[in-house]
Amino acid sequence: MIKAERQQLLTKHIANKQSAQLKELSELLNVSEDTVRRDIKELADLGIIKAVRGGAIAHSPVPHHYRERENLQVTQKEIIAQKAVRFVEDGQVVFFDGGTSTLAVAAALRKDIQITVVTNSFPVVNILEDYPSAEVIFIGGRLNKKAFTTFGSETIDAIRTIKADISFLGICSIDLEYGITTRDYEDCIIKKNIVANAKRVIALSTINKVGTAEPFVVCSVNAIDVILTDDAIDEKTAALFEEQGVLIQ
């Protein structure tokens, strides 16, 4: 049996049984437990199943709570957030996109800030509940249970009626040639409308997302006003971004 075939079988088995042990898989696939372990690791790296001690389990369909994922790259996001809050001034209308980067920015705002926040992200609202002087406008729509945001035509319509002073945009991928791109279609449409309706767009991107591209195009690089990253970008690339009229920090 070829490796790919074996891994397909393994995946299917996990999908049916929800979980499986090394020994059981080793017997089923007629290979050593080491090989099963390696297969599991490969499939887990691709996000297809989840490797656990003793075997593998199916990926949980819905995350328990969005706070779980908040822990990824906390320090990098903190760096970006500190850069970002300097752009926010009292009296402004500020839009927060979904995602953990923008969430970190919201959490980094000083408690007494007097701004109007517009968002379609439930986690952002959770943070800002405790900010007495921040007026919060929530953009309604259909609930995305994975991202904890709203989406759909109502959301789009609402975004179009508000022209924010600053819009913080969480970035999936950004590239000089391809612009800003996302993996998710609905997310792309939302971001497109955010960009189109903001006076100033500030994109938040960890350095490893720079120079990558995804299927759905949000906008070209020159539609962005500022890009904030967690680390210094090499001078050559920085110059190329600045040629496009983008401030990169």
Partner DNA sequence: ATTATTTTTGCATTAAATTGCAAGTATATG
Partner DNA sequence: CATATACTTGCAATTTAATGCAAAAATAAT
Q: Which residues bind DNA (CB under 7 A)?
A: 2-3, 6, 21-23, 31-35, 37-39, 41, 51-55
Spatial distance between the Cα atoms of 14 and 10, rounded to a whole number of angstroms: 6
Closest alpha carbon to 145 in 70, 50, 65: 65
Q: Which stretch binds a second copy (CB under 8 A): 63-71, 81-89, 166-174, 224-232?
A: 63-71
CB of 226 closer than 8 Å to CB of 201: yes
Which distant-in-sequence residues (6+ apart) come within 8 Å of 160 by Cβ? 193, 196, 197
Spatial distance between the Cα atoms of 247 and 94, rounded to a whole number of angstroms: 19
CA dihedral 175, 100, 185, 42 (to 10 degrees): 80
Q: Which does 32 bind (CB under 5 to 8 A by kind): DNA, a second copy, none?
A: DNA
Would you count residue 183 as binding a second copy (CB under 8 A)?
Answer: no
Least distance from DNA to the Cβ atom of residue 54, Å: 4
Q: Which does 215 bind (CB under 5 to 8 A by kind): DNA, a second copy, none?
A: none
Least distance from DNA to the Cβ atom of residue 74, Å: 20
Residues forming contacts to a second copy in the complex (CB under 8 A) are: 2-5, 8, 18-19, 21, 46-48, 50, 52-55, 57, 61-62, 64-65, 67-68, 120, 122, 125-126, 128-130, 132, 135-143, 145, 148, 150, 154-155, 158
